């Protein structure tokens, strides 16, 4: 039955030999909706077994950025709007239509009648208002944190039972897209009364989505059951989900997820490593690699650290990095080389690859100029201090440790030492807040709106560069007012064309300053059995089980 | 008997208190805490002030001594506190995970003992010398197999290739078959080694020669004279090995995707979930103490020379 032995020892490093086929594969999966292979129409019924590699941590909608959380929330909650994953256009969902005033400070949504939460309560204007009041302001008493997609929020107003209006203090053009993300999934009134602590238990979460959490074994399994009365899908869809049930099983071991899929014990799995892709393809199984459309997988500098405060040093390290080598040696065609700070499919992308060229001679020259001179031991020194930098590898990012070790070898050739560090989860978080300990950090975030740049770089958001007055109290002086003004402008500009132009400006500014070294565009790689049809993903690559159906196995 | 038991129970309580105190200190010394891990999440974009407020609301800012006594009295009342990471009470987590690990440990223990006995007796009693030597070398070999590798190999062969047992989505007992096989071998190996060594040692004693010269057959001598004398160290090591089963569960449960104490521990370590870790430490310590106490109490059944009144023991 088998031509090859299963993944006992996957042939690592074979990826280099198969870019051609994978490019074809990824090109045909360029759109986020994957065509069903069979000619016959969808079949109702069946249980899909989905293997996740981590357990969810919390199902409060704004926690949806963590993939296991988002993967569940996407099935059990609906959003006001739906972002077409291909065109990135905003389309109706819970809101049938909306009006926005000229300066983008007032958003009025008309709610589709007849929607109910799975506890029977009505989804009306009042509960939508309550959701966004809490997402925007958080709740101290219930420890609910604020959502990163709702900024400058003033208030909500219920105009009639099916009309709600949101007012903002400053223009907020990103809000409309913000209503479509998983982090804005609408929860029932009863769910919003619970404290953050209680929202870890899946059965406590009541949404209006096509599935409900029917059963849960904490840390192990979440069972979703389709709602037979669901009639309010995205973009005007009026059907229920095709599947009857989805069993989400936490299976942390890579080879077990893949082996179980290939042995017919599972139908769909998340997180296929680049070196395992060939096995999937050879057996006639399907690979899906939707883009996360956000900030690329990159090394970000913390310029507050004196070692990397000089732009020339940062530029030298950028040019000392052989990105092609990384992508061909460790990854597959599903991981395109980064061509800017954000992904090619992200809104407002500008191709800046000419600025990212590998040029070790230029790197050496820039380091000399900055006063870092080569010593006999092959390292560069200034005032008897070696140019040695530390970075923590990021567990959730694909093959990150290996990638950083390869970069360390590349940098060593120009006389720079990169120490790849590891530590306890909390230890890493604390280190990453201290620019003196971590002059570099791994960065990556997905969101299909220009606001993603602000999410990543703005001091009161993720603050990846660590600016003074941001997330960290350890920063001495570094702040970039010009960058912050640019980011602020993106999130406040009301003209969509201007927003995209400013997004390009911000990319140019960030790369001119050499604040980050973009490496690759990070996809989410899934694999599915041939019997799974209608595979689709939302805009940043979480599966929509609503569209999937099972054919003959 | 009674004063001995009383002294042993006091002993056990002291060990438990020591384990609690030691683990409490260790966990406090580690940088950061569960609140850092959960709320310093860039997705949430909280300011340092907001995080300080959250810390306040969890009572994580009180003095260490107060926290120590708070946790200790809570445990005495059977309240293990709250898992910050998973958002549920620790007792809820234990209720789902403990039965899984106990089931796995019990099955593996029984299977391991059977395997050890089979190997040891066969290696002593088989007719051909080369067969006996081969079997005698087996425990060393089996003990050297890493559990994670063996586990994956078993899954690949028995589940994915021969499709005999499913790994994902299996029932509670079906799910035990492969992990039991995987851990019982490396656990059974040291047991077999000890038993085999003892059987050899006892067999060389003069009284065995006397028994044989009286006309007893080899097998009869083995089971009636050698084995009963060789069983005591085997019992001691069994107790230690059972504790190892709990520790080894971390690796096995991750490979087989079982949600037992091992996987709970691994997640709690990653999230610095102090309440969960403290509960796991206490459960493991209690299990060790209980098992060793049981074994000490069982000794006299096998060796009438041992008395528990305290004369021989002290």
Pairwise CB contact (< 8 Å): A263 & B160? yes
**Mean pLDDT to the nearest integer, A489-503:** 86
What confidence score (pLDDT) does residue B47 get?
73
Report residue A176's pLDDT band, with 50, 70 and 90 as the boundaries. very high
Nearest to B255 among A253, A463, A464 (CB): A253
Question: Residue written as tokens 């090394």?
Answer: A299
Q: pLDDT, tens digit, for every residue of A501-548?
A: 999 999 999 999 999 999 999 899 999 999 999 999 988 889 999 999
Greatest alpha-carbon span in chain A: 77
Q: Which residues contact A328 (CB under 8 A, 6 or more apart)?
A: A15, A16, A19
Nearest to B37 among A201, A265, A425 (CB): A425
Pairwise CB contact (< 8 Å): B96 & A148? no
Interface test mutation site (partner A, options B153, B160, B267, max chain A beta carbons within 10 A)? B160
Residue A553 has pLDDT above 80, yes or no: no
Q: Tell me the helices (H) and strands (E) count for chain A, helix number first.
A: 15, 23
Residue B76 has pLDDT above 70, yes or no: yes
Contacts of B40 in chain A (CB under 8 A): 429, 433, 471
A292 touches chain B (CB under 8 A): no
What confidence score (pLDDT) does residue B51 get?
78
Report residue A471's pLDDT band, with 50, 70 and 90 as the boundaries. confident
Cα distances from A386 to residues A380, B106, B240, in angstroms, run 6, 56, 50
Residue A183 CB neighbour total at 10 angstroms: 25
Angstroms from A254 CA to nearest CA on chain B: 9
- Compute chain B's Rg from CA coordinates: 24
Highest mean pLDDT among A64-68, A408-412, B116-120: A408-412
What confidence score (pLDDT) does residue A233 get?
95
B38 touches chain A (CB under 8 A): yes
Looking at the DSSP bridge assignments, the partners of residue B152 are none
What residue of B is the nearest CA neighbor of A464?
A: B42
Of the ranges A293-302, A400-409, A424-433, A538-547, which one carries the lowest mean pLDDT score?
Answer: A424-433
What residue of A is the nearest CA neighbor of B271?
A: A425
What confidence score (pLDDT) does residue B42 get?
64
- Burial category of B208 from C-beta neighbours within 10 Å (exposed 0-12, middle 13-18, buried 19 and up): middle
Percent of chain A with pLDDT over 70: 92
A384 touches chain B (CB under 8 A): no
Query: DSSP letter at A525?
Result: P
What confidence score (pLDDT) does residue B60 get?
63
Look at residues A449, A497, A439 and name the one whose alpha carbon lies nearest to residue A342.
A449
Residue A80 has pLDDT above 90, yes or no: yes
Residue A296: φ, ψ to 5° = -65, 160
Angstroms from B47 CA to nearest CA on chain A: 6
Nearest to A424 among B30, B85, B153 (CB): B30
What confidence score (pLDDT) does residue A24 get?
36
Nearest to A219 among B32, B34, B264 (CB): B264
What residue of B is the nearest CA neighbor of A52?
A: B257
| Both tokens assigned to A58 | 């919390």
The DSSP secondary structure of A467-491, one letter per residue, reads: -TTSS-S---S---HHHHHHHHHHH
Cα distances from A377 to residues A339, A381, A406, A416, in angstroms, run 35, 10, 20, 11
What residue of B is the nearest CA neighbor of A62?
A: B44
**Higher pLDDT pick, A366 / A348:** A366
What confidence score (pLDDT) does residue A152 get?
86
Specify the 3-state DSSP secondary structure of A390: strand
- Compute chain A's Rg from CA coordinates: 24
Angstroms from A384 CA to nearest CA on chain B: 31
Pairwise CB contact (< 8 Å): A219 & B156? no
CA angle A123/A124/A127 to nearest 5° reads 80
What confidence score (pLDDT) does residue A540 get?
83
A62 touches chain B (CB under 8 A): yes
| Both tokens assigned to A53 | 């590699």
Angstroms from A141 CA to nearest CA on chain B: 8
Helix orientation angle between B90-125 and B261-270, rounded to the nearest 10 degrees? 130
Residue B313 has pLDDT above 50, yes or no: no
| Both tokens assigned to A90 | 């905003």
Question: What's the complex ipTM?
Answer: 0.76
Cα distances from A137 to residues A26, A183, A462, B38, B41, in angstroms, run 41, 14, 18, 19, 17
Contacts of A464 in chain B (CB under 8 A): 42
What residue of B is the nearest CA neighbor of A141?
A: B57
Cβ atoms of A541 and A523 within 8 Å: the answer is yes
Pairwise CB contact (< 8 Å): A251 & B32? no
**Higher pLDDT pick, A447 / A500:** A500
Q: pLDDT, tens digit, for every residue of A430-454?
A: 899 999 999 999 988 766 677 788 8
What confidence score (pLDDT) does residue A64 get?
87
B235 touches chain A (CB under 8 A): no
Pairwise CB contact (< 8 Å): B160 & A462? no
Highest mean pLDDT among A236-245, A492-501, B103-112, B273-282: A236-245
Angstroms from A298 CA to nearest CA on chain B: 16
**Mean pLDDT to the nearest integer, A53-74:** 89
Cα separation, A128 vs A163, whole angstroms: 9
- pTM greater than 0.90: no
Look at residues B111, B86, B107, B106 and name the one whose alpha carbon lies nearest to residue B96.
B86
What residue of A is the nearest CA neighbor of B90?
A: A218
What confidence score (pLDDT) does residue A22 get?
37
Helix orientation angle between B147-154 and B227-256, rounded to the nearest 10 degrees? 70
The DSSP secondary structure of A254-314, one letter per residue, reads: HHHHHHHHHTTS-SEEE---GGGHHHHHHTT-EEE--B--SEEEEEEE-TTSGGG-SHHHH
Cα distances from A307 to residues A36, A440, B266, in angstroms, run 53, 10, 36
Contacts of B36 in chain A (CB under 8 A): 426, 429-430
**Mean pLDDT to the nearest integer, A198-217:** 92
**Mean pLDDT to the nearest integer, B141-164:** 88
What residue of A is the nearest CA neighbor of B259?
A: A220
Q: pLDDT, tens digit, for every residue of B45-60?
A: 677 777 777 777 766 6
Report residue A362's pLDDT band, with 50, 70 and 90 as the boundaries. very high
Specify the 3-state DSSP secondary structure of B309: coil
CB pairs under 8 A between A and B: 169
Angstroms from A270 CA to nearest CA on chain B: 14
Going A88 to A94 to A98 to A101, the CA torsion angle's sign is negative
Q: Strand order in A95-100's β-sheet? A: A95-100, A106-111, A163-168, A153-160
What confidence score (pLDDT) does residue A351 get?
96
Pairwise CB contact (< 8 Å): A260 & B88? no
Highest mean pLDDT among A185-189, B114-118, B206-210, B287-291: A185-189
Separation of first and last alpha carbons in chain A: 16
Q: pLDDT, tens digit, for every residue of A104-129?
A: 999 999 999 999 999 999 999 999 99
Cα distances from B51 to residues A148, A432, A471, B46, in angstroms, run 15, 16, 10, 6
- DSSP-derived pairing of the beta strands A526-528 and A516-520: unpaired
What residue of A is the nearest CA neighbor of B40?
A: A429
Percent of chain B with pLDDT over 70: 93
**Mean pLDDT to the nearest integer, B80-103:** 84
Interface test mutation site (partner B, options A263, A468, A470, max chain B beta carbons within 10 A)? A263
**Mean pLDDT to the nearest integer, B26-44:** 73
Pairwise CB contact (< 8 Å): B87 & A199? yes
Residue A37 has pLDDT above 60, yes or no: no
Task: Report the b/e string of A502-516 with b at 16+ CB within 10 A.
Answer: bbbebbbbbbebbbb
Pairwise CB contact (< 8 Å): A256 & B85? no
Pairwise CB contact (< 8 Å): A6 & B156? yes
What confidence score (pLDDT) does residue A206 get?
96
Per-window interface: B 57-76 vs A, CB < 8 A: 57
**Mean pLDDT to the nearest integer, B11-16:** 89
What residue of A is the nearest CA neighbor of B268?
A: A425
Report residue A469's pLDDT band, with 50, 70 and 90 as the boundaries. confident
Nearest to B168 among A138, A219, A251 (CB): A251
Q: pLDDT, tens digit, for every residue of B222-253?
A: 888 888 877 888 888 887 787 777 767 788 88
Percent of chain A with pLDDT over 90: 67
Task: Report the b/e string of A289-303 with b at 16+ CB within 10 A.
Answer: bbbbbbbbbbbbbbb
| Both tokens assigned to B92 | 């809820």
Q: How many residues does chain A have?
A: 553
**Mean pLDDT to the nearest integer, A194-207:** 90
Residue A45: which region, alpha, beta or left (left: phi > 0; alpha: psi -120 to 50)? Answer: left
Pairwise CB contact (< 8 Å): B44 & A218? no
| Both tokens assigned to A73 | 């929330």
Helix orientation angle between A400-412 and A311-320, rounded to the nearest 10 degrees? 110
Q: pLDDT, tens digit, for every residue of B63-72?
A: 778 878 888 8
Half-sphere exposure of A482 (CA within 13 A, CB side): 8
Cβ atoms of A467 and A435 within 8 Å: the answer is no
Nearest to A430 among B31, B39, B159 (CB): B31
Looking at the DSSP bridge assignments, the partners of residue A249 are A51, A221
What residue of B is the nearest CA neighbor of A259?
A: B160
What confidence score (pLDDT) does residue B147 get?
84
Pairwise CB contact (< 8 Å): B93 & A219? yes
Residue A5 has pLDDT above 50, yes or no: no
Report residue A28's pLDDT band, with 50, 70 and 90 as the boundaries. very low
Tell me, rounded to whole angstroms, the distance of Cα A181 from its chain centroid. 11
Cα separation, B135 vs B120, whole angstroms: 8
B96 touches chain A (CB under 8 A): yes
């Amino acid at each position: 039955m088998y031509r090859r032995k299963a993944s006992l020892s996957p042939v690592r490093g074979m990826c280099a030999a198969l870019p051609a086929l994978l490019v074809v594969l990824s090109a045909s999966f360029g759109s986020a909706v994957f065509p069903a292979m069979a000619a016959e129409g969808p079949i109702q019924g069946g249980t899909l077994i989905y293997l996740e590699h981590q357990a969810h941590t919390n199902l409060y909608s704004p926690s949806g950025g963590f993939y296991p959380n988002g993967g569940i929330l996407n099935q059990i909650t609906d959003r006001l709007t739906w972002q077409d994953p291909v065109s990135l256009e905003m389309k109706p969902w819970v809101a049938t239509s909306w009006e926005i005033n000229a300066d983008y400070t007032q958003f009025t949504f008309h709610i589709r009648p007849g929607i109910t939460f799975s506890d029977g309560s009505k989804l009306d204007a009042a509960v939508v208002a309550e959701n966004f009041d809490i997402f925007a302001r958080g709740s101290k008493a219930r420890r609910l944190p604020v959502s990163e997609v709702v900024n400058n929020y003033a208030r909500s107003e219920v105009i009639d039972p099916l009309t709600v209006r949101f007012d903002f203090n400053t223009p907020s053009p990103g809000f409309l897209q913000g209503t479509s993300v998983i982090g804005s999934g609408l929860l029932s009134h009863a769910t919003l009364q619970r404290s953050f602590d209680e929202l870890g238990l899946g059965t406590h979460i009541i949404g209006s989505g096509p599935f409900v959490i029917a059963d849960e074994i904490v840390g192990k399994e979440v069972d979703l059951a389709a709602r037979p009365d669901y009639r309010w899908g995205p973009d005007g869809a009026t059907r229920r989900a095709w599947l009857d049930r989805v069993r989400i099983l936490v299976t942390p071991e890579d080879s077990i997820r893949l082996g179980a899929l290939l042995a017919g014990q599972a139908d769909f799995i998340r997180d296929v490593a680049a070196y395992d892709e060939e096995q999937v393809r050879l057996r006639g199984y399907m690979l899906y690699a939707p883009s996360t459309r956000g900030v690329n997988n990159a090394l970000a500098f913390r310029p507050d650290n004196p070692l990397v405060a000089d732009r020339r040093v940062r530029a030298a390290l950028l040019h000392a990095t052989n990105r092609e080598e990384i992508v061909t040696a460790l990854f597959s065609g599903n991981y395109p080389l980064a061509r800017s700070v954000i992904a090619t499919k992200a809104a407002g992308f500008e191709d800046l690859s000419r600025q990212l060229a590998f040029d070790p001679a230029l790197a050496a020259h820039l380091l000399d100029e900055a006063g870092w001179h080569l010593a006999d031991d092959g390292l560069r020194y200034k005032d008897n201090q070696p140019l040695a930098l530390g970075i923590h590898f990021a567990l959730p990012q694909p093959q990150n440790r290996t990638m950083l070790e390869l970069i360390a070898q590349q940098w060593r050739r120009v006389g720079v030492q990169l120490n790849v560090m590891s530590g306890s989860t909390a230890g890493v978080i604390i280190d990453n807040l201290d620019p003196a300990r971590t002059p570099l950090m791994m960065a990556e975030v997905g969101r299909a709106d220009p606001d993603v740049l602000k999410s990543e770089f703005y001091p009161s958001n993720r603050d990846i560069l660590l600016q003074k007055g941001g997330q960290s109290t350890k920063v001495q002086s570094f702040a970039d007012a010009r960058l912050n003004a640019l980011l602020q402008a993106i999130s406040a500009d009301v003209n969509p064309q201007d927003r995209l132009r400013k997004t390009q400006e911000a990319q140019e500014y960030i790369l001119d300053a050499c604040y980050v070294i973009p490496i690759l565009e990070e996809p989410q790689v899934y694999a599915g059995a041939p019997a799974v049809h209608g595979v689709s993903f939302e805009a940043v690559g979480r599966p929509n089980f609503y569209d999937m159906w099972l054919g003959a196995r | 008997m009674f004063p001995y038991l009383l002294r042993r129970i006091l002993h056990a309580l002291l060990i438990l208190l020591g384990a609690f105190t030691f683990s409490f200190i260790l966990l406090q010394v580690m940088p950061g805490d569960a609140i850092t891990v959960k709320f310093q999440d860039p997705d949430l974009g909280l300011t340092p002030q907001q995080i300080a407020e959250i810390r306040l609301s969890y009572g994580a800012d009180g003095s260490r001594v107060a926290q120590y006594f708070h946790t200790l009295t809570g445990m005495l009342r059977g309240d293990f506190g709250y898992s910050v990471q998973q958002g549920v009470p620790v007792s809820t987590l234990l209720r789902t995970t403990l039965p899984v690990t106990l089931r796995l440990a019990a099955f593996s223990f029984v299977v391991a003992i059977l395997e050890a006995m089979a190997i040891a007796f066969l290696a002593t009693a088989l007719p051909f010398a080369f067969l006996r030597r081969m079997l005698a070398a087996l425990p060393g070999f089996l003990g050297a197999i890493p559990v994670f590798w063996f586990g994956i190999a078993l899954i690949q062969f028995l589940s994915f290739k021969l499709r005999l047992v499913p790994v994902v989505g299996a029932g509670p007992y079906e799910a035990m078959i492969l992990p039991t096989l995987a851990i019982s071998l490396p656990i059974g190996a040291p047991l077999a080694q000890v038993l085999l060594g003892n059987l050899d040692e006892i067999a060389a004693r003069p009284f065995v020669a006397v028994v044989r010269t009286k006309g007893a057959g080899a097998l009869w001598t083995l089971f009636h004279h050698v084995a009963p004398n060789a069983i005591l160290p085997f019992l001691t090591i069994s107790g230690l090995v059972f504790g190892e089963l709990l520790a080894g569960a971390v690796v096995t449960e991750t490979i087989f995707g079982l949600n037992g104490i091992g996987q709970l521990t691994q997640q709690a370590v990653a999230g610095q979930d102090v309440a969960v870790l403290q509960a796991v430490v206490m459960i493991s310590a209690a299990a060790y103490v209980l098992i060793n106490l049981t074994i000490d109490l069982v000794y006299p059944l096998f060796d009438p020379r041992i008395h528990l009144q305290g004369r021989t023991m002290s």
